[in-house]
Every structure is written in structure tokens, then in C-alpha cells.
């Protein structure tokens, strides 16, 4: 008998148990929902170990998205806003979703348009690294948006720069430079000869 078991067709339970005892294997039900249920002759310890390995591999391949929260106020200062935007940018780059919550206190609730402007400004600031997943929603004294990490944008500009660098420079300029240098060199030589002739 192989480790993964063999197909023996339909047989009575007692006969299958005796066969498992003879071959020093276990009778394991692998598909209980099928009709009739499917059993295999195999080493149960090894079977469980392989299942655990498969589960671990599937967990590794799964991507867990974390929802992080950043809190703002309607009258937030410029420096504080930039600091919160920087934090949100880091979280989005790391792959976490960011819930940006704007909290109203007291009479601030009568001006939800101010809060909406702050959230809109934050969404525009994080536009490069994230996408707006949920529009501003008012819940009690809070208004929030959810930003999801965006796909990295293609680097078109850098490729264009590399192509420009790879192009050969115009030959006319280099020829004219060498011609000027040659002319300057001959002029200097002739001037040196003239001074030597004058001395003699």
C-alpha cells in the first residue's frame, strides 16, 4: 500500500478495517459528504501533518488588511494636519486601510461643511498613495472617510528621462567645438612662430 492509499472500489467497512490492520495503516474518511463516503488507507499522523502544512501555506499567502484610524478636528492647524497626513501616508504605503475620522464638539456640529472640507483636503493630499473607498459619512458627532491603499502608479516619467539620456547628442555641436579648438590651436601656434621669428 502506498502512503496516499489506493483505490479499492466499494467494500464493506469490516473488510476495509481488516485490510488496514494487515498493512499497518489507518482507515481515514477523507470525503464524508460524498455518497457513499470515501475512505483511504494511509498513515493518519502523516496525513494530519500534511494538512497542517497546507493550512500554514494558505495563511501565509492570505493578505490581511488592517483598518487604522486617524482623528481630526474641524479647526485643525496646518502643522497638525500635515503631521496627520504624513502618518496616514505611511500607513497606506504599508498596506493598511485608513479611516479618517473628524470629531465635532459643541457647536461645531452646526457646521458640517467645515468638516467636509477638511476631509476632502485630506483625501486630495493622500491621492498619490491611496484611493477614496468611502465618501464622507456623518455618524452622530463624527464624520469619516475610508482610504484604501492604491496601486503603485507606473513610472512613465523616469522611463522618458532614460530614453532622452540614451539618445546620442547632435554631431554638429561636437564637430564645431573640435573645429574651434583646432582653429584656436593653430592660431596659437602661428602666434608663437611669429614671436620666435621676430626675436631672430
Tens of pLDDT along 122-155?
Answer: 888 888 888 888 888 888 888 888 888 876 555 5
pLDDT > 60? residue 9: yes
Residue 168 has pLDDT above 80, yes or no: no
Q: Scanning the structure block, which residue is given the C-alpha cell 470629531?
A: 103
The residue among 135, 64, 122 whose CA lies nearest residue 89 is 122
Phi-psi region of 159 (alpha: psi -120 to 50; beta: other; left: phi over 0): alpha
Given a contact cutoff of 8 angstroms between Cβ atoms, the answer to whether 122 and 146 are in contact is no
Q: What is the mean pLDDT of the chain?
A: 77
pLDDT(55) > 90 = no
User: Whole-prediction pTM value?
Assistant: 0.46
DSSP state of 96: -
| pLDDT value, residue 1 | 42
What is the per-residue pLDDT for 86?
92
Higher per-residue confidence, 173 vs 110: 110
Between the alpha carbon of residue 55 and those of residues 13, 27, 59, 61, 79, the distances in Å are 30, 22, 6, 10, 47
Burial of 53: CB neighbours in 10 Å, binned 0-12, 13-18, 19+: exposed
Q: Which three cell numbers stand for residue 176?
A: 564645431
Q: Binning pLDDT at 50, 70 and 90, where does residue 162 land?
A: low
What's the Cα-to-Cα distance from 110 to each of 45, 74, 143, rounded to whole Å?
Answer: 66, 11, 13
Residue for grid cell 502643522: 79
Digit-coded pLDDT (tens) for 72-104: 998 889 999 999 999 999 988 888 888 999 999
Task: Over range 179-190, report the average pLDDT.
Answer: 56
Percent of the chain with pLDDT over 90: 8
Lowest mean pLDDT among 87-96, 168-177, 183-192: 168-177
pLDDT band at 191 (very low <50, low <70, confident <90, very high): low
| Residue bearing the bigger pLDDT, 40 or 5 | 40
Helix 78-93 and helix 112-125: axis angle, to 10°? 50
Phi-psi group of 5: left, alpha or beta (phi > 0 → left; psi -120 to 50 → alpha; rest → beta): left
Amino acid at each position: 500500500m502506498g502512503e496516499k492509499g489506493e483505490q479499492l472500489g466499494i467494500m464493506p467497512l469490516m473488510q476495509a478495517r481488516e485490510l488496514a490492520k494487515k498493512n499497518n495503516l489507518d482507515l481515514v474518511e477523507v470525503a464524508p459528504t460524498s455518497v457513499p463516503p470515501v475512505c483511504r488507507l494511509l498513515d493518519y499522523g502523516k496525513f494530519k501533518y500534511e494538512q497542517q502544512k497546507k493550512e500554514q501555506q494558505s495563511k501565509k499567502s492570505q493578505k490581511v488588511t488592517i483598518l487604522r484610524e486617524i482623528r481630526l478636528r474641524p479647526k485643525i492647524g496646518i502643522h497638525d494636519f500635515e503631521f496627520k497626513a504624513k502618518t496616514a501616508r505611511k500607513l497606506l504605503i504599508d498596506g493598511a486601510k485608513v479611516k479618517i475620522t473628524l470629531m465635532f464638539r459643541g457647536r461645531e456640529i452646526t457646521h458640517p461643511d467645515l468638516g467636509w472640507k477638511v476631509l476632502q483636503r485630506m483625501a486630495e493630499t493622500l491621492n498619490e498613495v491611496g484611493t477614496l473607498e468611502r465618501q464622507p459619512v456623518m455618524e452622530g458627532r463624527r464624520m469619516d472617510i475610508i482610504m484604501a491603499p492604491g496601486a503603485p502608479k507606473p513610472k512613465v516619467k523616469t522611463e522618458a528621462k532614460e530614453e532622452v539620456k540614451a539618445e546620442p547628442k547632435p554631431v554638429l555641436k561636437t564637430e564645431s567645438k573640435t573645429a574651434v579648438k583646432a582653429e584656436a590651436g593653430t592660431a596659437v601656434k602661428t602666434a608663437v612662430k611669429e614671436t620666435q621669428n621676430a626675436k631672430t
